[in-house]
Amino acid sequence: MKLTLKVWRQKNAESKGYFEKYQVEANVHMSFLEMLDVLNEELIEQKKDPIAFEHDCREGICGACSMVIDGKPHGPQTGTTTCQLHMRFYNEGDEIVIEPFRARAFPVIKDLVVERASFERIIQSGGYISVNTGQAPDGNALPVEASKYEEAFDAASCIGCGACVAACPNGSAMLFTSAKINHLEKLPQGKIEHSERVLNMVAQMDKEGFGNCSNVGACEVECPKEISTENIANLNKFYLESVFIKQE
């Protein structure tokens, strides 16, 4: 199939970006990233600068393949990362607009690649368990209620891609931060440092320049892992509790 791509090109963080049009021939069995690979091979053959885009696992688990396709972070398929999007969803002659994630806390490095170290710093501020939990316990030694481990697992499926931030009109990182906090809060090992974690991660999130959550809900809609905004509601509750615990 012959496609027209309108791709955001930007040399570096300081330069002004612009859209450039390309024609590419893809086949229905390709993934979206393979289609971009084909275009890049052609650009390299023509001694032109290939389009910079991030990718790693290409299996929907690492969160690297972050781009906005036709106005939607990770493209038009719900619950799907860009690397899992396939060209069979497109038709001959389609025009596809591809841009980087746009958010103050995610500056563009080049073309479709943005700097997401702000997410790393939120994790570094508390998204871990530092207490000594000993050797890996036997499977049934530490009972966890079924509903709790399911909630923990759902929250843990966040791949840190940043689509929630790109989808949010306020550029809020609440879905990401709340998923990480809820994941740990549901498990006995994570409860010990919970209040400190909540205060530190929220403080870091604010410091990084992410906006406030105003309950738009676009984050949940565009999240490729369908992380629920219930995590945000829980985080708001945890935050109030943690502030009071600190004051006691």
User: How many binding residues for ligand FES (CB under 6 A)?
Assistant: 14
To 10 degrees, what angle do helices 117-124 and 194-207 make?
150
HSE-CB for 173 with a 13 A CA cutoff:
29
Minimum distance from residue 63 beta carbon to ligand FES (Å): 5
Both tokens of 117, joined, read 């170290």
- CA 74/CA 33 separation, integer angstroms: 11
User: Within its chain, how far is the Cα of 154 from the centroid?
Assistant: 15
Is 176 among the residues that bind ligand SF4 (CB under 6 A)?
yes
Minimal distance in Å, beta carbon 240 to ligand SF4?
A: 22
Binding residue for ligand SF4, selected from 33, 164, 174, 218, defined by CB under 6 A: 164
Q: Which stretch binds ligand SF4 (CB under 6 A): 33-41, 95-103, 126-134, 171-179?
A: 171-179
83/168 with CB nearer ligand FES: 83
We find the least distance from the C-beta atom of residue 86 to ligand FES, in angstroms, to be: 13
Shortest Cβ 85–ligand SF4 spacing (Å): 15
Tokens 């563009």, located at residue = 108
Tell me the window of 17-25, 78-86, 166-174, 238-246 that interacts with ligand FES (CB under 6 A): 78-86
Residue 114 CA neighbour count, 13 Å, CB half: 25
Q: Which of 112, 152, 199, 223 binds ligand SF4 (CB under 6 A)?
A: 223
Cα pseudo-dihedral 131, 137, 139, 143, rounded to 10:
-50
In the complex with ligand SF4, which residue's Cβ is closer, 127 or 190? 127
- Integer-rounded Cα radius of gyration of the chain: 20
- The whole-angstrom separation of Cα 130 and Cα 136 is 15
What residues numbered 51-70 form the site for ligand FES, per CB under 6 A? 55-58, 60-65
